[in-house]
Homo-oligomer: A and B are copies of this chain.
Amino acid sequence: MMQTDAIQAANLRAVDLICNADPVLIDVGRADEVLAGFSGRVIAHAGPPVSWDGMSTAQRGGVVAALLYEGWADTPDAALALMASGAVALRPNNDLGAVNPMGGIMSPSSPVFVVKEAVSGLIAVTTLVEGRNPAQRFGSFDAATLERMRWLRDVLAEPLGAAIRATGGIHLREIASQAVQMGDELHQRNLAASSLFYRQLFPALMRVPMTEETRQSIVDYFCVGNEQFFLNLGMAMAKAAMRPIEGLADCTIVTVMARNGVELGIKVAGLGDQWFTGPSGTVIGTYFPSFSAADALPDIGDSAIMETFGLGYFGLGAGGPAFGLLGVPSQEAANARVDQMRKITVGANPNFRAPALGSEAMPCGIDVRLVAQQGIPPGIATAIAHREFGVGRMIGAGLAPAPLAPFQAASAAITERSASATVAGS
């Protein structure tokens, strides 16, 4: 197949499936219990496949944290030696149905949010956001980072799961839809969505038996300095919405866009599980005091699932409160960027409209052919990690273009298939 008519029909159907997806947060579980085949000595990471030797510093640091946390190693050096021995397998999160921000390291006992797309029944998974710097997702493996990782697993996960189950499921798209009207583009700004989420969670959470101390620590976790809390949930929402089109014949829409700090990789609905990769971009934006571009790791994280779904950079005009951090000079500049994304997308998502974007629906469904033909790379609104091993901090945020190479390669693969189909059919 892969004829133009069939492609068009498949792409329109895909946008329909994406826009009508209803991702519902249903539970908190352990990664190795929720994800098929994720057990034994295996570590999952953001972005396309990568070897231990080829891994970026932020991911290597996150892996060290994971090995200490899992008890597979007692010291950072022992962790590095274990990884060098090849005894621990590495797998991309996206190949497992998961998405995680920045380094995105997930290990078997990581607590995870479980999001079910109600129409298809498909599941997407994400780790619990850690909170502020330093953090495993930026490559930290210091004592405070490990302590918080254990707190998430050993203290938070169980009552949080109980509360979520007691709500009967939290419809994430409804929260996201409201939040984009409230200044969240839902990648680099998530304050409204986080706050709206707590309103739905807290009544149930207050009915879960726990000690006063535990309750206090949990409420502090949500309310003190965790403005990006909803990012992970938004990512799982986006992943859950994209899963129904994975493998859709003839569809040329990008289903995955993810970076490991070295490469950005994409998958395309009609091209199966194949990754197409190119070099991770440089993030241009704003640095926190005392940091500069010289300290920055290239673009990293599965969080570009937000753009793949049609938020983040694709809804940048909604994110006025985040413009300063992202280095966006004005509302007009933001809206112009969104309009540029309309040139490489098949449709628009009526669930996401922001007053500052003229209430137009945000562009949705990146057609890999349009990116290749027009030479317009998808943009990504993202955080910047420190490049030095062990620092494990966010040092700023900004905008990064995706590399064109993977889109060109995927587009060529589609042309090739069309040609073979024509020959076969002639």
Query: Which residues of A does B touch, CB under 8 Å?
Result: 178, 181-183, 191-192, 195-196, 198-200, 202-203, 206-207, 212, 215-216, 219-220, 222-224, 320-321, 331, 354-356, 358-359
Known: A192-B192, A199-B223. A181 touches B321 (CB 8 A): yes
Of all chain B residues, the one with the shortest Cβ separation from A323 is B355
Q: Are B206's CB and A321's CB within 8 A?
A: no
Q: How far is the CB of A353 from chain B (nearest CB, A)?
A: 9
Of all chain B residues, the one with the shortest Cβ separation from A215 is B206
When all copies of this chain in the complex are counted, the total is 2
Q: How far is the CB of A96 from chain B (nearest CB, A)?
A: 33
CA gap between A202 and B84 in the complex, in Å: 46
Of all chain B residues, the one with the shortest Cβ separation from A192 is B182
Interface of A is mostly: helix
Residues of B within 8 A of A359 (CB): 320, 331
Interface hub of A216, A321, A356 (most chain B Cβ within 10 A): A356
Q: How far is the CB of A49 from chain B (nearest CB, A)?
A: 39
CA gap between A14 and B246 in the complex, in Å: 62
Residues of B within 8 A of A181 (CB): 183, 320-321
Residues of B within 8 A of A202 (CB): 202, 219, 222-223
Residues of B within 8 A of A354 (CB): 320
CA gap between A168 and B182 in the complex, in Å: 28
Of all chain B residues, the one with the shortest Cβ separation from A334 is B355
CA gap between A320 and B182 in the complex, in Å: 9
Q: Of B203, B321, B355, which is within 8 A of A320 by CB?
A: B355
A182-B192, A203-B219 given. 17 additional CB < 8 A pairs? Answer: A192-B192, A198-B198, A198-B199, A199-B224, A200-B223, A202-B202, A202-B219, A202-B222, A202-B223, A203-B216, A203-B223, A320-B354, A320-B355, A320-B359, A321-B355, A331-B355, A331-B358
Residues of B within 8 A of A182 (CB): 182-183, 191-192, 321
Of all chain B residues, the one with the shortest Cβ separation from A318 is B355
Residues of B within 8 A of A198 (CB): 195, 198-199, 223
Of all chain B residues, the one with the shortest Cβ separation from A321 is B181
Q: How far is the CB of A325 from chain B (nearest CB, A)?
A: 13
Residues of B within 8 A of A358 (CB): 331
